Amino acid sequence: MSTLAVHDHGVVHHEDGHEHHHKATFLNTYVFSQDHKYIAKQFLVTGIIMAFIAMSLSILFRIQLAYPDKSFPFLETLLGHFAPGGRLSPDFYMSLVTIHGTIMVFFVLTAGLSGTFANLLIPLQIGARDMASPFVNMLSYWFFFIASLIMLSSFLVQKGPASGGWTIYPPLSALPKAMPGSGMGMTLWLISMTLFIASQLMGGINYISTVLNMRTKGMDLWKMPLTVWALFLTAVLGVLSFPVLVAGVVLLIFDRSFGTSFYLSDIVLGGVPQPYEGGSPILFQHLFWFLGHPEVYIVIMPAMGLSSEVLAVNSRKPIFGYHAMVYSLIGISVLSFIVWGHHMFVTGMNPFLGGVFMITTLIIAVPSAVKTFNWLATLWRGNIRFTPAMLFAIGMVSFFISGGLTGIFLGNAALDINLHDTYFVIAHFHLVMGSAAIFGMLAGVYHWFPKMYRRMMDERLGYLHFWLTFIGAYLVFFPMHFMGLDGVPRRYYAFTEFESMKRWLTVNVFVTWSAIMAGIAQLAFAFNFVYSIFWGKKTVQNPWNANTLEWTAPIEHIHGNWAGEIPTVYRWPYDYSKPGHDEDFIPQTVPFSQTMSSNLPHDFEDNPGGLEEYTKWTNAQKANEAVK
Amino acid sequence: MMAQIQQEDKLNLGAKKFSMWIFIFTSVLLFSGFISAFIVYSGGRGHALQVIMPEAFRYSTFVIIFSSVTLHLASKAAKTLQIGKQRMYLWFTIILGVAFFAIQIYAWYVLAFKMQIFFSNPNASRSFIYVFSGVHLAHVIAGLLVLLNAVFATYRNIPQVRNIFKMEMASIFWHFLDIMWICLYVFLLLNQN
């Protein structure tokens, strides 16, 4: 053993100097760090900044929707030729909704969410020193960072950013002359997304490999916290679906720049017939949504995992139905690949095929409902601590229910004829994947902030942030259901031109002011976050009395996470309020031999030796009772 | 001792090899994306390919199969610590890889200039010939870099564990490229009418 170790030590110095020299410089500690905990913080801060940018974009176009005929001189000062005379130009309005969607879906809720928590929690909760390949992990962040810069730089282009919607359907995205945003803006969008996908694949491959290969002693798959399960399955979804988006995007680039006609046919541009023949724009939709639907689960599943953990810890109860939770995550993951057609019901799809997609879509309601009921059952008669993280986790469940219910309507091929591309869809996905996912992420931020920054966030500002955001989000998105039912279409610049939609203007004003209120509430979070990093109350090692492995690591961050040997795991992560134990939590690292009074026969299902000891101990207890 | 245990943990050669398999998996999905796009396109609109594949593709297929054989010989030599032999067979593999690359480009030349089957084509089924072989060639460039990494490592005095590791990484990737090309070629042959 020791010869082997010495031998490997030699290797380290010859070969992998860049990974193992512990000469800490400013650059490799604070910029190009390969430490998963630091990379997690980089992802989080970048994600938060992108979220604020995307939120500001939404407030800009909300102003347009509320006051389509009013001119706001500050808009011209702010946006220049994108808002001539203080009114957003229609093209720039399209750019705003496109970039808002792109940033929120990909840069905030995919990279910001999985990137942060997979990096922070996977190694810490499974008991690993770092990722399988810390170097690739670092590259993953920097590809993401460059992708973010390129995406934002499209605002500096004369004709504005991409404007064909975040789904970039051809022909608008395939013909540089189709609309102003289809030119340079679209090119930058494609470059940015290519780098983004590379970043996601590097990250995802690392996460999967780490979870499957580097768990500490005793940590079998069924002892992993639900966070790790969720982040692992999210990475699997990403690795399976992003390559298909690459295929779609590569063909799109060929159509844009090399004159092929994969997606283009019978195009007349400015009165001039174009030479493209025989392409099929529907082909792009198939390729896009084969990624696009798993993508919405890539967004929501980490939020589910984080919320499950936060709910169990703060209810002081085991998560209800741990196995069912894992199986429903797996079920959702599998089903997510066979439902993409429900985005395409109105593309002239064969109604029989539509029926098939409808059935697979509605089946997703089953695992989703299992999860929802399990969360509620976890809360039921729990000894609930309403920390800000807990409130956000409960908020996540609330949004998942209220947004999920409308999914049952939209998944129906017949109803979708009416509802497709209306505000009903906007309301649905902003609740179920927008608000729910961001609430899951915020729950995670409040809960694991002490692990990341060694300080606590302020609770009162947290409560303020929660209530304003929770109420604000419902006020913004709930009225949109009724607009959608009335047939108000999404992505329209102004509704004043349509007699039937004029009456919705007052609602739009209401929604806009709600959005502004919810937006301002985020400043409470931003202040709390930055202030607490530097001046927050110092944390103790296990501030929430949680069971999982990350809280056994020292408060001070060290490379390799644990100073000595990595702790061994003996039990599942949800032994909260176990009867017979003197505390209401038993960390995963406590062996059963130290908790004789609280052990139960089913703790020893696959451990006959332990069961024997347990029986001996209970018999001895009974004998003692008899003597008394 | 503690520090050494940590070092062992951090090398993670097994986990890195596993990552390579996942990467292969993502590549398979990328190509499946293109193949399904081809099927949807050519099936949905009645756009048959109707191109007899250039002879060059057959030669390149032989070349890349042969390169897999030489790579296998290199791995065998590496396992028995015959570094000279390993190096020689690796160089053979790289040369064959470059030859494969050149023949593919020649095949494009034949397609475009002799057969008038252009990349930008109203029948996009035909464009797919270029997409399949082009994306595969992009992978081949990466494969050649991995092979070069393995061959340069033999010039430095690195421990056998690392040498075998590099050979295994190169082998997984290069044999995959070989198999992937055969799949693509057979797929094109089956669909050429």
**Which chain A residue has its CA at the smallest distance from B157's CA?**
A14
Within 10 Å of residue A311's Cβ, how many Cβ atoms?
Answer: 27
A454: which 2 tokens?
């060694």
B56, B107 contact by CB (below 8 A): yes
Distance from CA of A210 to the nearest CA of B (A): 7
pLDDT tens figures, B96-138: 999 999 999 999 999 999 988 888 888 888 899 999 999 999 9
CATH for A212: 1.20.210.10
**B92 has a chain A CB within 8 A of its CB:** no
Q: Which of B9, B32, B122 sits opposite A278 (nearest CB)?
A: B122
d(CA A457, CA A305): 21
Q: Which residues pair with A538 in a beta bridge?
A: A455
**CB nearest A132 (choices: B19, B37, B124):** B19
If asked whether residues A567 and A594 sit together in one domain, one would say: yes
What is the count of structural domains for chain B?
A: 1
Instruction: Give residue-wise pLDDT tens across range B2-51.
Output: 444 444 445 678 888 999 999 999 999 999 999 999 988 887 666 788 88
Tokens of B146: 């991995």
Bridge partners for A576 per DSSP? A585
Domain boundary residue among A535, A564, A579? A535
Given a contact cutoff of 8 angstroms between Cβ atoms, the answer to whether A431 and A403 are in contact is: yes
User: What letter represents residue B130's amino acid?
Assistant: Y
CA distance A481 to A459: 33
Residue of A174, A176, A168 whose CA lies nearest to A193: A168
Provide the sign of the torsion angle of the four alpha carbons A556, A559, A561, A564, taken in this order.
negative
Q: How many CB atoms lie within 10 A of CB A609?
A: 8
The rounded distance, in Å, linking the Cα atoms of A561 and A444 is: 20
Whether residue A423 sits in one domain with residue A481: yes
Q: Which residues in chain A land under pLDDT 70?
A: 1-22
Same domain, A503 and A571: no
For residue B41, is it within any domain? no
A379 & A230 share domain: yes
Nearest residue of B to residue A288, measured between CA atoms:
B33
| Residue range of the domain that includes A597 | 549-627
Question: What's the CA gap between A431 and A426, in Å, rounded?
Answer: 8
Q: Give the angle A402-A405-A410 at the CA atoms, nearest 5°.
A: 125
The answer to whether position B33 is within a domain reads: no
Residue B17 domain-assigned (yes or no): no
Q: B19 and A206: CB-CB below 8 Å?
A: yes
Interface touch B124/A260, C-beta < 8 Å:
yes
Alpha helices per DSSP H over A133-280: 134-153, 184-213, 226-257
Size of interface A-B (CB pairs under 8 A): 158
Q: Are A372 and A290 in contact (CB under 8 A)?
A: no
From the candidates A260, A561, A566, which should be mutated to test the interface with B, based on the most B CB atoms within 10 A?
Answer: A260
A553 DSSP 8-state letter: S
When divided into structural domains, chain A yields a total of 2
Summary mean pLDDT of chain B? 90
Nearest CB partner across the interface for B30, out of A15, A246, A566: A246
Query: CB–CB of A261 and B124 under 8 A?
Result: yes
Q: B3 vs chain A: nearest CA distance in angstroms?
A: 9
Q: Which residue has the tokens 């913004």?
A: A476
Last residue of a domain, one of A508, A535, A562: A535
Is residue B59 domain-resident? yes
Tell me which chain B residues have a C-beta less than 8 angstroms from the C-beta of A174. none
**Dist CA B71 CA B172 (whole Å):** 10
B154 and chain A: CB distance < 8 Å anywhere? Answer: no
CA-to-CA separations, A6 to A17, A269, B4, in angstroms, rounded = 16, 70, 7
Residue B142: inside a domain: yes
**Chain B partners within 8 Å of A134 (Cβ):** 10
Contacts of A337 (CB under 8 A, 6+ apart): A240, A241, A290, A293, A294
Distance of CA A137 to the CA centre of its chain: 18
* Side chain identity, residue A181: G
Q: How far off is chain B from A341, nearest CA to CA, in Å?
A: 14
Both A481 and A593 in one domain: the answer is no
| Domain co-membership, A367 together with A219 | yes
Interchain proximity B12–A560, CB inside 8 Å: no
For residue B122, count other CB atoms closer than 10 A to its CB: 17
Share of chain B above pLDDT 70, in %: 93
- Based on the fold, state whether residues A212 and A326 are members of the same structural domain: yes
Strands (E), A371-480: none
Q: Does B158 touch chain A (CB under 8 A)?
A: yes
Q: Which residues of A touch B16 (CB under 8 A)?
A: 132-133, 209
- Which tokens in the block code for residue B165? 């590791």
Give me the mean pLDDT over the B158-169 stretch.
91
Identify the domain containing residue B122 by its residue range.
Answer: 54-190
Locate the chain A residue with the closest alpha carbon to B121: A260
Query: Are A492 and A573 spatial neighbours (Cβ–Cβ below 8 Å)?
Result: no
| Predicted pLDDT at A606 | 83
CB–CB contact A246 B33 (8 Å): yes
A114: nearest Cα among A44, A58, A205, A183: A44
Q: What does the pLDDT read at residue A17?
A: 39
Q: What is the pLDDT of residue A605?
A: 85
- ipTM entry: 0.89
Same domain, A336 and A422: yes
Residue B66 to residue B84: CA distance in whole angstroms: 20
A205:B135 CB<8 A:
no
Inter-chain CB proximity A14 and B159 less than 8 Å: yes
The Cα B82–Cα B76 span in angstroms is: 9
Cα gap A147→A141, rounded to integer Å: 10
Q: Cβ-count burial of A461 within 10 angstroms (0-12 exposed, 13-18 middle, 19+ buried)?
A: middle
Residue A496 CB neighbours (<10 A): 11
In a domain, B9, yes or no: no
Which of B127, B156, B163 best tests the A interface by mutation, with the highest count of A CBs <10 A?
Answer: B127
User: Is-contact A123 A63, C-beta < 8 A?
Assistant: no
The end-to-end CA distance of chain B, in Å, is 66
Q: State whether A589 and A523 are in the same domain.
A: no
Give the Cα separation of A335 and A329 in Å (integer). Answer: 10
The CATH number that applies at residue B122 is 1.20.120.80
Co-location of A501 and A561 in the same domain: no
Nearest chain B residue to A127 by CA distance is B9
Q: How far is A6 from chain B (nearest CA, A)?
A: 7
Q: Nearest 5°: CA angle at A496, between A490 and A499? A: 95
Nearest by CB: B119 against A16, A260, A280: A260
What is residue B45's predicted lDDT score, i.e. its pLDDT? 61
pLDDT of residue A54: 97
Tell me A571's DSSP state. Answer: S
Answer whether B51 touches A (CB < 8 Å): no
**Contact across the interface for A251 and B37, Cβ inside 8 Å:** yes
B10 located within any domain: no
Instruction: Collect all residues of chain B within an 8 Å Cβ-Cβ radius of residue A565.
Output: 2, 5
Peptide bond into A591 cis (omega under 30): no
- Integer Cα distance of B60 and B104 in angstroms: 7
Decide if A160 contacts A61 (C-beta within 8 A): no
Tokens of A175: 């013909």
Q: Identify whether residues A394 and A470 lie together within a single domain.
A: yes
Q: Point out which residues pair with A489 in neighbouring strands.
A: A422
The Cα–Cα gap between A202 and B31 comes to 18
Distances (CA, A) of A171 to A126, A280, A342, B20: 47, 9, 21, 37
Report the candidate in A143, A125, A124 with the shortest Cα–Cα distance to residue A203.
A143
Residues A73 and A48 occupy one common structural domain: yes
- Report the SS3 class of residue A265: coil
Residue B14 counted as domain residue = no
CB nearest B5 (choices: A5, A258, A261) = A5
DSSP state at residue A576 = B
Q: Residues of B numbered 52-91 whose beta carbons fall under 8 angstroms of chain A's beta carbons: which are they?
A: none
Preferred mutation among B29, B126, B133, B135 to probe A, highest tally of A CBs within 10 A: B29
